[in-house]
Structure 1
Amino acid sequence: MGAITLKAVEKWYGNVQVIKGVDLQINDGEFVVFVGPSGCGKSTLLRMIGGLEDISRGSLDIDGRDVTAEPPSKRGLAMVFQSYALYPHMTVRENVGFSLKTSGAPKDEIARKVDHAAEVLKLGPYLDRRPKDLSGGQRQRVAIGRCIVRDPTAFLFDEPLSNLDAALRVEMRYEIAKLHQSLKSTMIYVTHDQVEAMTLADRIVVLEFGKIAQVGTPRELYERPANLFVAQFIGSPKMNILPCETGQGSYALQGGRGGAFAGDRAAQHIGIRPEHIEVVAQGQGQCDGVIDVIEYLGADSFLVIDCGPLGKITQRSFGDVTHREGDTVGLKFDPDRLSFFDGDGLRV
């Protein structure tokens, strides 16, 4: 079991509050990712769960047991840090089994658990090597193996891939996803990389200045962001946000045209993802603009279009692009993919 419940959790450093009343239920076996910009409190919140930071107010339950005041050793959790923190003079086998050895586990149990972790993480050929003889991805797998042998209630990952190059990040992202499928353990993962969040998570917790901005599946956050912050943080490139006016069942763009609006209150901003915009002839669609930059990415291209008072709009085109920089075009928005936000930035 690995259900974790945070109830009105706060963290204060003197007079500065960095975690501001977080309520969160993490279910047994769930993969939850904390994501947000630097300084939003995601690592601090993870360390509070792990017991490395005290909880100033509120409570933390693990499987229904209040562990708020208990030390890390009593919580049954295992943490993988950004740095591998491996013992350089020990072999992979000794590093993975070190925590069991210090706890006085029998040698045959240590050997069995180390071999199991090595099989899960494909570390068998490297068990007699030392960390200096391993790649970055292999070292990170050793750090994860050190946690697996403890059979923890939940795994805590604090930006574990940030020290790896782009290719290794992709490889290790796959390895962690497969690890979750095989172990079916609760995992809490901290990252600033929204691609990692979108590809790994069962649910994403988006943090903003110590508060939860939204919790949901990757699809929910991408398609129905609760506010402007989530709309522009989730997605690459980010959602286009444009000023608008609404009334009498329609919306109008500043310096452009408009369409139907069925919101329950007035909206001041409209959001549209780059892939939900179609390039059409000038005078058609919701607005016109001049193609400023074309970013070619192979399978698709991003067109950055200067739309005057609306600012620059990013459009995603799949396949070959026939337009050129400097062309004047119209932009047609998919009416079923629009998001509207009020003056406070909340979804209408």
Structure 2
Amino acid sequence: MASIELNGAEKWYGSAQVIKGVDLSIAEGEFVIFVGPSGCGKSTLLRMIAGLEETSRGQILIGDRDATAEPPARRGLAMVFQSYALYPHMSVRDNMGFSLKAAGAPEADIQSKVDAAAQVLKLEPLLERRPKDLSGGQRQRVAIGRSIVRDPTAFLFDEPLSNLDAALRVEMRYEIAKLHQALGATMIYVTHDQVEAMTLADRIVVLEGGQISQVGTPRELYRNPGNLFVAQFIGSPKMNVFEAGIAGLTLAAPAPANAVKLGIRPEHIALVEAGQGQIDAEVDVLEYLGADTFVILDAGAAGQVTVRVTGEHAPAPKTQVALSFAPEDTHFFDSAGRKI
């Protein structure tokens, strides 16, 4: 396994710059996830690391060597895509061992590595089946197994679970987490699903417009977002954001002088009697999810607000309430969207 480092990495398509000077260090054995909205450059950045996209400017280091100009085959990386790309006429065993066979590896070595990967991924009972006889989750495990047998310096995942249904995504998140624990491998993973990012990553890289907006552990990004974009992108439901000087808003402690916006997470708001909190609101819609209920309120000039409450403890629609939140749970942002 190897560390990966990007120094001023840029990608240009003609006069259009899509990756804008990215600096990032990924430690050996670290699980790093790229997230961001569509078009932010996360897949392009991953493909640059893989060598599938040329790096226009800057440097990519794999371990202690400069791999910027190396072709994909020399980088020693394994990539897992959305598409499983399995050979339909081959068994699971032959699919997993095909790259080694094509490289001329001895048959005994191929079988040994396939058996070891199958054991890690719980594929032993499926080795003689064809892809058409497998579920979507099993096919994805085979695609991952095909990468494991190559003993790569790092694994690159490009939205590998996007084609699976909700239940299978949960199952495969668990499988990938266990795989990382078992292999201790360097992994870079691209997803648009922040649940995957929050549950799997050692660190998350939030991308916006081809640049890194913030890097940190899931807890750091959730508890201490560095800017308004990260504050609203990380978290589901997203952070509520108000104008700091909005009429009717009474804060328990004064806002910083340069505060333009204030943010509060849905679970950090309590519903109290009208007139007893920071701002009054009317219950609009309830979204019951079992253990939690999301209460969506109309807070007048403050707009729509979402509050997370426990299970059944939610007021009925049209109820007049107030929103109460503590100063320590309030985030303030300046006119440029930076956290104060």
Instruction: Report TM bin, short chain.
Output: over 0.9
Determine the structure 2 residue equivalent to 1:288.
280
**What is the aligned counterpart of 1:254 among 239, 247, 269?**
247
**Does residue 291 of structure 2 align to residue 307 of structure 1?**
no
Structure 1 CA distance for aligned equivalents of residues 212 and 50 of structure 2: 19
Structure 2 CA distance for aligned equivalents of residues 23 and 259 of structure 1: 40
Instruction: Compare 331-340 and 131-140 and name the one that shifted more.
Output: 331-340
Determine the structure 2 residue equivalent to 1:267.
259
Determine the structure 1 residue equivalent to 2:227.
227
Q: What is the letter of the counterpart of residue 284 of structure 1?
A: Q
Determine the structure 2 residue equivalent to 1:52.
52
Determine the structure 2 residue equivalent to 1:248.
none
Partner SS state of residue 222, structure 1: helix
Structure 2 CA distance for aligned equivalents of residues 216 and 322 of structure 1: 34
Structure 1 CA distance for aligned equivalents of residues 55 and 145 of structure 2: 28
Q: How many residues align?
A: 340
Q: CA deviation at 1:262?
A: 6.8
Partner SS state of residue 179, structure 2: helix
Q: What is the letter of the counterpart of residue 184 of structure 1?
A: G
Runs in 1 of length 4+ with deviation above 6 angstroms? none
CA 1:101–1:297 in structure 2 vs 1: closer, same or farther (change >3 Å)? same
Does the CA contact (< 8 Å) of 1:244 and 1:254 recur in 2? no
**What is the aligned counterpart of 2:289 among 279, 282, 297?**
297
Partner SS state of residue 10, structure 1: strand
Unaligned runs of 5+ in 1: 246-252
Q: CA deviation at 1:261?
A: 3.8
Partner SS state of residue 305, structure 2: strand
Q: CA deviation at 1:260?
A: 1.3
Structure 1 CA distance for aligned equivalents of residues 151 and 224 of structure 2: 37
Does the CA contact (< 8 Å) of 2:267 and 2:309 recur in 1? yes
Determine the structure 2 residue equivalent to 1:3.
3
Partner SS state of residue 259, structure 1: coil
Q: CA deviation at 1:129?
A: 0.5
Q: CA deviation at 1:321?
A: 2.2
Q: CA deviation at 1:285?
A: 1.2
Determine the structure 1 residue equivalent to 2:130.
130
Structure 1 CA distance for aligned equivalents of residues 112 and 310 of structure 2: 51
Structure 2 CA distance for aligned equivalents of residues 286 and 2 of structure 1: 51
Determine the structure 2 residue equivalent to 1:250.
none
Determine the structure 1 residue equivalent to 2:333.
341
Determine the structure 1 residue equivalent to 2:321.
329
Structure 2 CA distance for aligned equivalents of residues 259 and 13 of structure 1: 51
Structure 1 CA distance for aligned equivalents of residues 192 and 44 of structure 2: 13
Partner SS state of residue 170, structure 1: helix
Partner SS state of residue 188, structure 2: strand
Partner SS state of residue 225, structure 2: coil
**Does residue 151 of structure 2 align to residue 151 of structure 1?**
yes
Does the CA contact (< 8 Å) of 1:243 and 1:254 recur in 2? no
Structure 2 CA distance for aligned equivalents of residues 115 and 88 of structure 1: 20
Does the CA contact (< 8 Å) of 2:4 and 2:62 recur in 1? yes
Query: For each residue in 1:188-208, what CA deviation from the matched residue of structure 2 results, as whole angstroms up to 9, or x when unmatched?
Result: 000000000000000000000
Determine the structure 1 residue equivalent to 2:66.
66
Does the CA contact (< 8 Å) of 1:278 and 1:332 recur in 2? yes
Task: Give TM-score scaled by structure 2 length.
Answer: 0.99
Determine the structure 1 residue equivalent to 2:114.
114
Partner SS state of residue 5, structure 1: strand
Structure 2 CA distance for aligned equivalents of residues 322 and 132 of structure 1: 47
Determine the structure 2 residue equivalent to 1:175.
175
Q: CA deviation at 1:255?
A: 2.2
Does the CA contact (< 8 Å) of 1:225 and 1:231 recur in 2? yes
Structure 2 CA distance for aligned equivalents of residues 334 and 296 of structure 1: 25
Structure 2 CA distance for aligned equivalents of residues 188 and 334 of structure 1: 37
Does the CA contact (< 8 Å) of 2:244 and 2:255 recur in 1? no
Q: CA deviation at 1:257?
A: 1.1
Write out aligned runs for 1:16-55 (5 A).
16-55=16-55
Structure 2 CA distance for aligned equivalents of residues 261 and 110 of structure 1: 67
Determine the structure 1 residue equivalent to 2:80.
80
Structure 2 CA distance for aligned equivalents of residues 196 and 176 of structure 1: 10
Q: What is the letter of the counterpart of residue 211 of structure 1?
A: Q
Query: For each residue in 1:76-127, what CA deviation from the matched residue of structure 2 results, as whole angstroms up to 9, or x when unmatched?
Result: 1000011000011100000000010011110110010000000000000100
Q: CA deviation at 1:64?
A: 1.6
Partner SS state of residue 252, structure 2: strand
**Does residue 161 of structure 2 align to residue 161 of structure 1?**
yes
Q: CA deviation at 1:322?
A: 4.5
Does the CA contact (< 8 Å) of 1:198 and 1:218 recur in 2? yes
